[in-house]
Amino acid sequence: MAPRELGHDLRPLEQVRQVILGLLEPLGAEARPLAECYGAVLREEAVVTELIPPFDNSAMDGFAVRVTDVASASEASPVTLRVSGQIAAGEPGGLVLEPGSAQRIMTGAPLPSGAEAVIPHEVTRFNDRNVTFTRPARLGQNIRCAGGDLRPGDLVLKPGCVLRGPQLAILAALGRDPVRVTRKLRVAVVSSGNELVEVGSPCGPGQIRNSNAYSLTGLLLSAGVEPVNLGIVRDTKEEVLRVIRRAVDAGLDAIVSTGGVSAGEYDWVQVVVREHAEPGHVFKVAMRPGKPQVFGLFDGRPLFGLPGNPAASMISFEVFVRPALRRLRGEGVVLPELFGVRFPFDYPYKPGRVLLLRARVEPDEPGGYRVVRPGEQDSSFLSSLAEANAIVTLPSDRDVVRAGEIHPAFWFAGL
């Protein structure tokens, strides 16, 4: 297929993202032990089949009573009842509360039949034999009813939901193990550039350390996929093609490469995508940083050719790769969720492309967030990424943000 030539036309970020997402669909699912499901994407409905909680039980440590037995209790005229027993959590239940008596009961313990309320022990005076109440009880007070939380037929988790602690707890409470989730995705990390050396090697004249492999490894882990580092690739067409073949032959689900996507003499990633991907796209995107972007399918496996500049590659990851990985993982929400951040100062910037400002944002008064440190925005600079926790988007048709304005942002690096 012929690559899409764009000349000098810039394409809107959103349009490019839709082209990429339109070529991807969720990968296969598998049954996995619940204990190994943290961060996985649910691929089935979690429908409740039993009452949660399974039995009526006490919400407090206190005394189970019948409402009528304490109806007349007041400070001036307390009511004393005999304590007929004690029920701890874990006991099988089946006990009966005789009229005119109270039973000591602990949080989570099954309610004896006949009990209509639990009065917390803090508001009573008691010893082993008797308990004195100075106020009446309300019907159902401090009782958690069977099925009060979840009932058979309730759809509590939908396919596409990411399983974190709370969702794992729900599946555990329902007795679901194993769970149907998207299989673990493995994604190649490729660093292209003649100037690159590995972090442990001496850095000679004209050389720099390969830092992108580390940012991308971290970003991929935060996206819930397994990174597979395929190392540094020299700037030749053969080496670039060879590493892509290697990734495809190894059955990796996607490739994220950095460098070699501009129109320079040594930018072979874009040439290989033009010539070998099906389909292959070489984009000039109306965003700063990250104008040159390359995307292609090799044997159906997506390759994201990100620019080499460290900040450009990380921001491109957030804008294109993370949503694409969410799609491949079958997540219900793929686009970054936006929130507003206020600028407490004027901020001038270069117009013509959307500025994806890496910045530190902090809680604002009386709510929301404000930008505190945008830092130096050069696409090759790492310094401003050290403390950045968000990416703020500024419109292409402006050249300054005025103090007090609010602009959309999204969290950075999996926060």
The strand ranges marked E within 285-403 are 287-288, 292-298, 301-306, 339-342, 347-348, 354-363, 369-373, 390-394, 400-401
Min dist CB 13 to Mg ion, Å, is 23
Instruction: Say whether residue 310 binds Mg ion (CB under 5 A).
Output: no
Question: In angstroms, how far is CA 139 from the centroid of its own chain?
Answer: 42
Instruction: Say whether residue 260 binds ligand AMP (CB under 6 A).
Output: yes
Instruction: Say whether residue 293 binds ligand AMP (CB under 6 A).
Output: no
What percent of the chain is helix, strand and coil (3-state, nearest 5)?
A: 20, 35, 45
Instruction: Say whether residue 383 binds ligand AMP (CB under 6 A).
Output: no
CB under 8 Å to 205, separation ≥6 — which residues? none
Question: In angstroms, how far is CA 200 from the centroid of its own chain?
Answer: 32
Which residue from 302, 305, 308, 330 is in contact with ligand AMP, where contact means CB under 6 A?
308
Piece in contact with Mg ion (CB under 5 A), picked from 119-127, 224-232, 256-264, 382-390: 256-264
Applying CB under 6 A, the site for ligand AMP has a residue count of: 18
What residue spans of 230-309 are helical by DSSP H? 237-249, 268-276
In the complex with ligand AMP, the residue whose CB is nearer, 136 or 292, is 292
Query: Please, is 92 exposed, middle or buried when counting C-beta atoms within 10 Å of its C-beta (0-12, 13-18, 19+)?
Result: exposed
Q: Quick one: what does residue 182 bind among Mg ion, ligand AMP, none, with the CB cut-off 5 to 8 Å set by partner type? A: none
Which residue from 110, 280, 290, 307 is in contact with ligand AMP, where contact means CB under 6 A?
307
CB under 8 Å to 29, separation ≥6 — which residues? 43, 44, 180, 181, 182, 183, 330
Instruction: Say whether residue 290 binds Mg ion (CB under 5 A).
Output: no
In the complex with ligand AMP, the residue whose CB is nearer, 103 or 309, is 309
Instruction: Say whether residue 259 binds Mg ion (CB under 5 A).
Output: yes
Question: In angstroms, how far is CA 350 from the centroid of its own chain?
Answer: 32
Instruction: Say whether residue 193 binds Mg ion (CB under 5 A).
Output: yes
Min dist CB 264 to ligand AMP, Å, is 6
In the complex with ligand AMP, the residue whose CB is nearer, 40 or 196, is 196
Instruction: Say whether residue 290 binds ligand AMP (CB under 6 A).
Output: no
Hey, which residues does 120 pair with through a beta bridge?
Answer: 62
361: tokens are 């944002």
Q: Quick one: what does residue 61 bind among Mg ion, ligand AMP, none, with the CB cut-off 5 to 8 Å set by partner type? A: none
Dist. CA 333–CA 149, nearest whole Å:
26
What part of residues 152-211 is at the interface with ligand AMP (CB under 6 A)?
Answer: 191, 193, 195-196, 208, 210-211
Q: Apex CA 228: angle with CA 227 and CA 233, to 5°?
A: 120
Min dist CB 281 to ligand AMP, Å, is 17
In the complex with ligand AMP, the residue whose CB is nearer, 196 or 361, is 196
What residue number has its CB nearest to ligand AMP? Answer: 308
Residues at the contact surface with Mg ion, assessed by CB under 5 A: 193, 259, 308
Residues at the contact surface with ligand AMP, assessed by CB under 6 A: 191, 193, 195-196, 208, 210-212, 258-262, 307-310, 380
